[in-house]
Amino acid sequence: MAERVRLSADDWVKTALETLVADGIGAVKVLPLAKKLGVTRGSFYWHFENRKALLARLLEVWEETNSGTIIAAATLEGGIIERYIALMRCWLSMERFDPHLEVAVRHWGRSNPELWERLRAADERRIKAFVAMLSPEVPDPTMALNRARTMYYLQMGWYELEVEVPMETRIESCTYYFEIYVGRAPTAQERTAILTGLHS
């Protein structure tokens, strides 16, 4: 098979991620990926030592894209409204967070005990960031933790259930979720800020 163009490692990673999301980890294999890319397996080994190295890179991308993005949002400089808007923009797929990748990696983890432990650790880091976000508004540590868990588990469940709701409805709902998560309704000014931040 003649190679039409020299591929980069990122080309392999992009195709592997697409395959992981569409078909699961079992489909992420060198030869099928090479066929999709229209190249020989030799191109792969120019960039990666083996399949294990590629899978490790996929998990790095997941950490950067998903954990990194939502933790950065929850710990953004500013107050609760700035952080809440930033986090909701992740949940609504307005930023780098990729819900399809999240679900695919979690399905992968069910058959991989080492990855499952890594997922549990990522969950704890994310929830810890949410506690930090909520603590100025929710001074009781136990309540802050349980509100953070509610926020996190609800959203992860939303992705697993593949809920289909129009974007405008989801944005409007974020003004109500604020009260559930924070324990008070947003002021009129805060509500306007949330809606404006999610429409921009």
Please check whether residues 150 and 80 belong to one and the same domain.
yes
pLDDT band at residue 200 using 50, 70 and 90 as cut-offs: confident
Tokens of 90: 């992740």
Please check whether residues 123 and 151 belong to one and the same domain.
yes
Burial class (CB in 10 A: 0-12, 13-18, 19+), 118: middle
Please check whether residues 12 and 32 belong to one and the same domain.
yes
Q: Considering the domain boundaries, does residue 54 fall inside one?
A: no
Query: Residue 75: which of 88, 86, 89 has the closest Cα?
Result: 86
Q: Considering the domain boundaries, does residue 153 fall inside one?
A: yes
Q: Is 51's pLDDT higher than 80?
A: yes
Range of the domain at 21: 1-48
Q: Considering the domain boundaries, does residue 105 fall inside one?
A: yes
Please check whether residues 30 and 128 belong to one and the same domain.
no
Please check whether residues 109 and 28 belong to one and the same domain.
no
Q: Considering the domain boundaries, does residue 53 fall inside one?
A: no
Contact 83, 133 (CB under 8 A): yes
Please check whether residues 121 and 70 belong to one and the same domain.
yes
Please check whether residues 44 and 139 belong to one and the same domain.
no
Supply the pLDDT for residue 73. 97
pTM of the model: 0.91
Cα 162 to Cα 1: distance, rounded to the nearest angstrom: 39
pLDDT band at residue 90 using 50, 70 and 90 as cut-offs: very high
Q: Considering the domain boundaries, does residue 116 fall inside one?
A: yes
Please check whether residues 140 and 167 belong to one and the same domain.
yes
Please check whether residues 43 and 64 belong to one and the same domain.
no
Contact 3, 40 (CB under 8 A): yes
Please check whether residues 86 and 185 belong to one and the same domain.
yes
Q: Over the stretch 97-140, which tens digit does the pLDDT of each residue have?
A: 999 999 999 999 999 999 999 999 999 999 999 999 999 999 99
Q: What CA dihedral angle connects 66, 72, 75 and 78, to 10 degrees?
A: -130
